[in-house]
Structures are given as C-alpha cells and as structure tokens.
Structure 1
Amino acid sequence: MNKAVSGQSGVRQVAKLAGVSVATVSRVFNQASTVRPDTRDKVMAAAKQLNYVPNSAARSLTMNRSYTIGIVIPTIDNSIFARFIDAIEQTLATRGYGLIVATCGFDRYSESHRVEELLKMGIEGLILSGAEHDEALLELIAARNLPLVCTSLFDAAYPWPTIGYDNYSMGKAITRHLLDHGHRQFHILSGPRDLIDRTRIRVQGILDGLHEAGVSDISISETELNFAAGCQAAKNILTPPLNFTALLCTSDVLAMGVLLEAPRLGIRVPQQLSVTGFDDQDWAAVSNPGLTSVHTPSRRMGDATARALMDNIEQNTAIASQLIDSHLVIRDSSGPAPSV
C-alpha cells in the first residue's frame, strides 16, 4: 500500500503529475470556484494516484478558516440522530468541511454551554435541534453573525431558518388513519412536552385531529425517550381491562417499548390494541408486528442543512427555511378497532 503524502512536497508532486501549477492545486483543494471542471478532475486524479492527503491544518491557517460546522443534539442514543449526523458529514465532506458533534440531553443550559465550547473551536456554522433555545444563546449567535439552522421542524415564521418536518400535520395524519379504522378511544404516549417542542407539536396535532372528529375519550401520559421507558409506560397503562383501542406514541422508541411489553401482558397488537410511532426508524419495518409510523427522512434533512450552511458561508446565500416532506407508513401494528 502506498504511503499517504502531504505537505508542500506533496503539492508539487500532484502539480507535476497533473501538469498544472502548485497554485492551481491549492485552489482545487481550497474549493475555489475559478478552477475549470476538467482541471479539477486532473488534479483530483493525480492526488488519488499519489495518495495525496491535503494538510487541513495548514489550509485553515492560510485561509484563516476552520472549515468546520458544529452541531448540538439531545442524544446520540437514538438512531434517528445517527442517520442525520451521517448525512451531514457526508455532504460536508464533498467540499472539505468537517463536523463537530456535541450532546446536551434536552437541557437548555447544557446546550448553551456546548455551543460556547464550539465557538471557541472556531466553527463557521451551527446546527441546533428544534426552535426553543436560551435567548442569551441566540443573542450570542446573532452577535457573532454565525450561520444557524434549526432542524427537525419547519416554521417559516421563526426568526432563524428551520429545516425539517411539519410535525403538526403528520400528527393529524396518523390520527386520521386510526379514526378511519373506527377507533374512538385513544391514549397518547409522549416524551416530555415541556422540554421538546417537536413532541409538543406532534401531540397538539393529534389532539386537534381527535377534537375535530368529535372524539373526547383521550388520555395522555409522558415518559423519557428510550426503550426501557416505553416498556415501563406499557406496564403502567396497559392494565386490563383496556379503556382505549389505539395508542399513539410520539416516538418510535416508545412504540417499540410498547410492542416489546404488550405480549408479556397478554395484549395482542393490533387485534386488541393498535400502536403507532413517529420517525420510522430502521427497525420499524422488521419489528413484530411491523410498526405503523410517520417517516421523517433524516438523511434528506441532513443533506439540505449541510448544503444550506456551506452555500451561506461560501457564497453568502441566504439560508431559507425548508419543509422536508414526511409521510405515513402503514404496517401491521395498526388495524380496525376491535368490536365491542
């Protein structure tokens, strides 16, 4: 295997093999828009042949830039965030950017602290989850003139650009699916609504959909967002005789906890109880039974977010809020309401 080369001598080797100047090689790896596509292709081919690795630290010092984006998310335990981060990193890499990830656990104070740490690292753009953040933090971001995108929800009226889903409409859509199957007794299992705006919006969509249909037999419970919490919630609420026929979970991780616990409690899904989730995580299609859920394309959201930030940084293109279309995926965990 050829050893990777870098540094000024490596640049000269690439330039010689490609038949261009050292300055042209530098422009290619600094993402300059003035380089012709055919020239760029020759340089990249030569670099690949020589196993050349650009010195990113030297580039940052030369350009007085970090080529890094920061993201603060609640957790990396949830695979929906893993897919989101992976898409962001892949898109950033196409233009030579890197990603620094921090977690805050749904805590605004922790989120502010993590952002301050990222700012010290010289990030050029920032990604946050949701649209509820400490006001002092937003003022700091504005004072730094730092590009910011708030993700996982869409709100065209929000002062900062949002790229994400219409959680309210999809809450209504999954409710309509159950109403169309004759359900009139509902329980909503959600994460903490006071901490997570996306969860609160989903619940509101569900409630409005039920109220508009004239349904008043509704109960709600909240728990932490993890499998164990979903299992414990199932033990708490699935006590016979059941007083509801449909259980709407605002997250797949809660729904999976319910699907794991229901058989232990002797409850058949969907014959006795229809269960739905939200996010359509990878395992939703192979759970037993398959989980009816709202598909939220996190990879598409990650790609759109990364491109919007890079275009703003490089071309001063305004970041526009973007609605990422989501849709309902119907599987075997939901069905007709059981006859009385």
Structure 2
Amino acid sequence: MKSKVTIKDVAQKAGCGVATVSRVLNGTGSTSEKTRKKVLAAAEDLGFVFSDIGRSLQSSTTRTIGCIVPSLANPIFADAVQGIQEEVQKQGYQLLLACSKYDAEEEQNVTRLLIAKQVDGIILTVNDTGTSKALDMIRDRGIPACLMFNRSVSDFPASGIDNFAAAHRVAQALHAEGHHHTGFLALNFQSSDRSRERFMGFQKGCQSFGMAEPVLLQIEEQSGDLSLLLHELLAAHGGLTGIFASNDFLAIAAIREAKSLGRQVPQHLSIVGFDGIEIGRMVDPSLATIETNARQMGCMAARHVLARLVNDAKSDTLKLIEPDQKALRLPYHFRSGGSLAPPEVKTTDGEEAATSSPSCHPTPSISS
C-alpha cells in the first residue's frame, strides 16, 4: 500500500524546513517567491493535500459555518440555504447543514453536534426564540451567529422580514375584497414564534379594518394525517369566507381540501399564503401570498456571520463590509393571485350571487 505523503516529504523534496512549507501552504508569513514556487512544485509532484484538520489545529479555525433549518421539504428553507452556501464558499468556508424537523429537542441535538464539529459560526432558524436552548448553547460559547426568519433577540441579530407587518398587509388585502369572517391556519402554532407573530399581525389588521376577530385554526402536524385534519377544520368552519395560512405549503393543501368539500376557491373560499414559493404560481388557482426573498435572507445572514469572524480575528483575510441591523430587515410584497376574490353573498331567495370588490381597483402590491 502506498504510504501517505506528509509535510516532511514536501520539505525534503523542496530542500527547506517544515515550518517554511507550512507557511507557504497556509499562506501565512513571509517567504521568498523562489522558495514558494519550489514548495508548491514539490507538493504538486508528490500529490500532497494539506489537511483541513491539521490546519484547524494550528489556526484554531475549521473554516466551516453551521446551518440549522427546520426542513428542506419547504422550498423557502432550501432557497435560504443556497444563499448561505454561495456566500460562505466565496470566502473559502464550507457549510455544514442540519435539519431540526420542527422539534425543539432535535434543534438542541443538532446544535450540540455542530458545536462539537467546532464550526466557526452558525446560521439558524429556531422554533421559538424565547425558549430555544440551542441559542443558550451558542451564546454560552460565544459563537458568532445569526438567525433567519425569526425575530432578532438579545445578542442574536436576525435576517428576515417583519412578520407582524406582513400579516397586517394580508388583512388589508382580504378587507379590500370584502371579506369579514376569516380564519388563520397554522401548523404547530404554540411552538412557532413566526406563526404567532403572523397571527398577531393579522388579528391587529382585522381589528383595524373593522373585520370580525379571526378564528384560529391550529393543526399539530404530528397528531395525524394533515389532509384529514384540514378537511375536518374546514368542514367545521363553513361560515368563513377567507383563510390566511401561515405558509404557502399549508395554503396549497387547504385549497385542495376545500375542493374536496365542494367549496371552490376563490368562489366559496379565498385562501392567502405566506412566503411566495414559486410553486404557488403554478397551482390552480394561483396562490395569493406574501412574497419574500429567502435566498437574499440567507446571503445577508451569511455576510453578517462572516463579518463577525473577520472582526473577532482582527484579520483582513476576508474583504467584507459588515451589514448593519437595518440591512438584515428585508422587504416583502403582497402577490396577487387567483385564490383571492370577493366573497359570494346570499340573495333574498336563498341563492348565491357573487359580489364585486368594494374597491374599484385591484389590491396594489406594497413593499415594506
């Protein structure tokens, strides 16, 4: 079996010391151009690959960034991860990815794993910033970190949008179409701070526009078949004319189940989502939703963590400008779709007739 080429072999072939080879391959310290070329040529001839493990032991850095998201099944998280990966690779870092499965205990477990891997920074989405033990672990160790999708808390900045204001915008859109009795549909409501913020924003919006208090429709995903649970909820609340779902996947599932109950969307029930995933444009009817830029969200979170690493190391290895907190708050806009229309009204003879929108113009797209 061919023996592994070591740094000593490279030094012997180049005719210099091990310390000189290390400086050249690490790109640290001063070395003459002639010596540098000899070392690089020797390493190439021997097929030597400088060990990342060895480098991390010498420099106390692993050149890795950890990332935790609830799931990759939802494209919104996959897009964010892609944005993170693009940014960290530009700066010579690798990404270690883990999924928490929307579970607080698993969130803590994968955080512990990334810490054990000695990642230099962490970007993550947690279930609830107020109760997350993962954030406590990161804080205790002083690891540079940035949240995504969550609201910023304490010493953890967050890359995302204003969930409260965006949900308020949804109430405005439903009101503009003449809806009065609405519901808010959420998965794992009690354990998701994002869902709760969106509900509070929607609730405040309904109050502001003189609409009825929205009905909270909660589903615990682990408690049974999602389709069956949605079917039962919609059947039990037949008086609602509009539903705001906490994410697009849930909204699209609700459209399917509404149809199975004989309630056509949007003729009998309007449904609005949140996130703006591309598949929402392709379903029939197309989904009205709050559109966000998840990839940019990931990019901004990565830039923030990388800039922290530069500052902490007092090094100019990375050429970055640290984004301020305002830069981490990203815009959103309301995307019109076929799933939102005026509600049908009862006529005096008991038949149904479609109303026209109280507004003469379509609901405008508003950014924030």
TM-score scaled to structure 1, two decimals?
0.79
Shift of residue 293, structure 1, vs aligned partner: 0.7
Shift of residue 259, structure 1, vs aligned partner: 1.7
Q: What residue in structure 1 maps to residue 311 of structure 2?
A: 315
Q: What residue in structure 1 maps to residue 114 of structure 2?
A: 118
Q: What residue in structure 1 maps to residue 13 of structure 2?
A: none
CA distance in 2, matches of 1:338, 1:124: 56
Kindly indicate whether the alpha-carbon contact (under 8 Å) linking 1:312 and 1:319 is maintained by their aligned counterparts in 2. no
Deviations 1:234-279 (A, max 9, x none): 4113338930111111111111111222222222111111111011
**Structure 1 range deviating more: 184-193 or 174-183:** 184-193
Partner letter of residue 201 of structure 1? E
**CA, structure 1 residues 325+285, in 2 after alignment: closer, same or farther (shift >3 Å)?**
same
Question: Runs of at least 4 residues of structure 1 off by over 4 A?
Answer: 6-10, 21-26, 52-55, 133-137, 317-320
Partner letter of residue 332 of structure 2? S
Partner letter of residue 188 of structure 2? P
Q: What residue in structure 2 maps to residue 279 of structure 1?
A: 275
Shift of residue 24, structure 1, vs aligned partner: 6.7
Q: What residue in structure 2 maps to residue 328 of structure 1?
A: 334
| Residue number among 40, 65, 83 corresponding to 1:87 in the alignment | 83
Give secondary structure in 2 for the equivalent of 1:304: helix
Partner letter of residue 344 of structure 2? P
CA distance in 2, matches of 1:121, 1:325: 34
CA distance in 1, matches of 2:183, 2:49: 56
CA distance in 2, matches of 1:241, 1:194: 21
**CA, structure 1 residues 320+232, in 2 after alignment: closer, same or farther (shift >3 Å)?**
farther
CA distance in 2, matches of 1:135, 1:188: 25
Kindly indicate whether the alpha-carbon contact (under 8 Å) linking 1:75 and 1:81 is maintained by their aligned counterparts in 2. yes
Shift of residue 133, structure 1, vs aligned partner: 5.3
User: Map of 1:209-228 to 2, 5 A cutoff?
Assistant: 209-216=205-212, 218-224=214-220
Partner letter of residue 146 of structure 1? I
RMSD value, Cα: 3.3
| Residue number among 234, 240, 243 corresponding to 2:239 in the alignment | 243
Shift of residue 142, structure 1, vs aligned partner: 2.7
Kindly indicate whether the alpha-carbon contact (under 8 Å) linking 2:303 and 2:322 is maintained by their aligned counterparts in 1. no
Partner letter of residue 208 of structure 1? K
**Structure 1 range deviating more: 76-85 or 289-298:** 76-85
User: Map of 1:292-307 to 2, 5 A cutoff?
Assistant: 292-307=288-303
Gaps in structure 1 of 5+ consecutive residues: 1-5, 11-20, 35-51
Structure with higher Rg: it is 2
Count of paired positions: 307
Kindly indicate whether the alpha-carbon contact (under 8 Å) linking 1:171 and 1:202 is maintained by their aligned counterparts in 2. yes
TM-score scaled to structure 2, two decimals?
0.74
Q: What residue in structure 2 maps to residue 147 of structure 1?
A: 144
CA distance in 2, matches of 1:69, 1:172: 35
Partner letter of residue 150 of structure 1? L
CA distance in 2, matches of 1:64, 1:158: 27
Kindly indicate whether the alpha-carbon contact (under 8 Å) linking 1:112 and 1:134 is maintained by their aligned counterparts in 2. no
Shift of residue 178, structure 1, vs aligned partner: 0.7
**CA, structure 1 residues 298+135, in 2 after alignment: closer, same or farther (shift >3 Å)?**
closer
Partner letter of residue 168 of structure 1? F
CA distance in 2, matches of 1:219, 1:258: 15
Sequence identity, in percent?
24
Kindly indicate whether the alpha-carbon contact (under 8 Å) linking 1:149 and 1:161 is maintained by their aligned counterparts in 2. yes
